[in-house]
């Protein structure tokens, strides 16, 4: 039996970046250590100024500390997408959800807040949170080392896993409203988390929210014969469209992260060490460790490469100027329509000399992937609203609609029928198969689907007639309905 694609592959890749772990640790002299303290202050200055009672982080962390241990270790090998009633150990997961039922209240309260608001730097949180790793770390060690990492994200992965278990537990008991309530409360908290200022935080939150949407579709498909039409209508019309007010169907309020620029500037100051050119040994030590894997031999080779680069790397002032230009260019592109003619022009990042500006290209290359991730998240959210509306139609009329427009108004807000991968700003693609079965090559293997199909075009912007589909749209289309993971389980492709 084939295994499901790794949910955390992209997140693991991000964790290897300088901006996640930041380059292991970096030894700093006293003046540089003071500059590293400035990094935390600069990051905290980016957090909107709101009253403490309008920040969600403390209530959430208290709720996390109150949670009993999950029966499965949550991490790279197990997470929210693995939770369903047919999983090995479902009874234990159901009991865990039941034992922590008060968690939903904490999520609902957090969802009402303005921001997550967690400050950067361990010294800015209570000791009980530090001891549990619930920090956004910008740490200066006694020897002058700086370490930037975000272990607090484990709490949000745990909340998401609990919410999936609670939704399925409630659905099994026929408690539809309670199940949907747990799912939407968690989704709204994740949407708040998407507003954090570092790439790893924002990417992790966006991926967790995308996964949470897909789990909702799995559950709606699984219980489509039982959930009342009015519950589907309430969820698709009154709940899902308001993950965050004013986001609408295009996530207009989702900003590009800019905290990484602050960290990269600190890295530049560190490796230049007060000179006009990089310190070869320090550049090799910092970026050799960041670029190489755990093999000492490969690390040695990477270190030697960076030592040679120091001889031809641009000056500190030129590097800072290029860093600013790259971010300003990305910032403009983030705010305009995806298919505006300016998007076809080469980015400032793509025009960088990869050797003369190697520090910049190595440090922030993954930020450009966020543009595609934002589109994927739009597909996941909008597709969940459409899938929910189609289920509502079926629950009321006993059959799937031959055209999605039959479900508009009562079950689907029409504005959410929006495919961000369509260059004409058009709708999702829809096909009615009826009892005909069609084979689709997916990340799970070959799946056979029937009835009505809703899908987005994928990142090649082409309609492949859903003959091939992937979870992220990198190859083929993105099928949002019926949910592929649920079908793969039914067809014994995955556990």
- What is the pLDDT at residue 347? 96
Of 341 and 235, more confident: 235
- Res. 16: pLDDT tops 70: no
Q: Using 50, 70 and 90 to split pLDDT, how confident is the model at 72?
A: very high
What tens digit of pLDDT does each residue of 417-460 get?
Answer: 999 999 888 999 999 999 999 999 999 999 999 999 999 999 99
Long-range contacts of 175-179 (CB under 8 A, 24+ apart): 176/223, 176/227, 176/228, 176/231, 177/231, 177/234, 179/219
- What is the pLDDT at residue 2? 39
Task: Provide φ and ψ at 452, rounded to 5°.
Answer: -100, 145
Q: How many CB atoms are closer than 10 A to CB 34?
A: 11
- What is the pLDDT at residue 296? 57
Lowest mean pLDDT among 20-34, 170-184, 231-245: 20-34
- What is the pLDDT at residue 11? 36
Lowest mean pLDDT among 8-12, 244-248, 266-270: 8-12
- What is the pLDDT at residue 10? 37
Q: Using 50, 70 and 90 to split pLDDT, how confident is the model at 297?
A: low
- What is the pLDDT at residue 245? 79
The whole-number average pLDDT for the span 52-79 is: 97
What tens digit of pLDDT does each residue of 176-185 get?
Answer: 999 999 999 9
User: How far is residue 83's CA from residue 87's CA, in Å, rounded to a whole number?
Assistant: 7
Lowest mean pLDDT among 16-20, 120-124, 365-369: 16-20
Average pLDDT, the chain: 89
SS3 for 408-447 is ECCCECHHHCCCCCCCCCCCCEEEECCCCCEEEEECCEEE
- What is the pLDDT at residue 88? 96
- What is the pLDDT at residue 315? 95
């Amino acid at each position: 039996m084939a295994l499901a694609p790794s949910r955390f592959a992209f997140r693991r890749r991000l964790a290897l970046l300088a901006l996640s772990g930041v380059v292991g640790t970096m030894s700093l002299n006293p003046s540089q250590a003071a500059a590293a303290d400035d990094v935390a202050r600069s990051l905290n200055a980016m957090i909107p100024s709101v009253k403490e009672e309008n920040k969600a982080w403390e209530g959430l962390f208290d709720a996390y500390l109150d949670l009993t241990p999950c029966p499965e270790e949550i991490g790279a090998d197990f997470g929210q997408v693995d939770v369903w009633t047919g999983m090995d150990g479902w009874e234990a997961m159901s009991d865990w959800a039941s034992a922590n039922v008060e968690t939903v209240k904490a999520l609902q309260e957090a969802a009402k807040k303005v921001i997550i608001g967690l400050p950067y730097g361990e010294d800015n949180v209570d000791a009980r949170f530090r001891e549990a790793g619930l920090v956004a770390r910008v740490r200066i060690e006694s020897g002058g080392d700086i370490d930037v990492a975000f272990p607090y994200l484990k709490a949000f992965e745990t909340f998401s896993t609990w919410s999936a278990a609670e939704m399925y537990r409630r659905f099994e008991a026929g408690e539809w409203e309670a199940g949907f309530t747990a799912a939407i409360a968690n989704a709204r908290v994740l949407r708040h988390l998407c507003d954090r200022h570092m790439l790893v935080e924002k990417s992790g939150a966006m991926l967790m929210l995308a996964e949470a949407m897909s789990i909702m579709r799995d559950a709606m498909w699984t219980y489509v014969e039982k959930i009342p039409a009015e519950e589907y209508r309430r969820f698709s019309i009154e709940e899902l469209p308001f993950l965050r007010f004013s986001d609408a169907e295009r996530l207009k309020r989702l900003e590009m992260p800019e905290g990484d620029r602050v960290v990269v500037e600190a890295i530049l100051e560190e490796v230049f060490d007060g000179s006009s050119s990089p310190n070869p040994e320090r550049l090799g030590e910092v970026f050799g460790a960041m670029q190489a894997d755990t093999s000492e031999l490969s690390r040695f080779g990477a270190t030697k490469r960076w030592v040679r680069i120091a001889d031809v790397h641009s000056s500190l002032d030129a590097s800072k100027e290029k860093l600013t230009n790259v971010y300003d260019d990305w910032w403009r592109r983030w705010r305009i329509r995806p298919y505006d003619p300016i998007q076809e022009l080469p980015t400032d990042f793509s025009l960088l000399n990869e050797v003369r500006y190697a520090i910049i290209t190595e440090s922030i290359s993954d930020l450009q992937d966020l543009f595609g991730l934002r589109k994927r998240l739009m597909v996941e959210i909008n597709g969940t609203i459409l899938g929910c509306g189609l289920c509502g139609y079926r629950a009321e009329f006993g059959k799937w609609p031959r055209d999605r427009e039959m479900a508009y108004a009562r079950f689907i807000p029409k504005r959410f029928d929006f495919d961000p991968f369509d260059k004409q700003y058009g709708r999702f693609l829809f096909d009615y198969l009826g009892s005909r079965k069609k084979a689709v090559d997916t990340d799970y293997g070959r799946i056979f689907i029937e009835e009505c199909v809703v899908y987005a075009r994928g990142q090649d912007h082409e309609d492949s007639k859903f003959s091939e589909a992937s979870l992220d749209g990198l190859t083929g289309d993105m099928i949002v309905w019926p949910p592929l993971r649920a079908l793969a389980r039914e067809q014994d492709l995955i556990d």
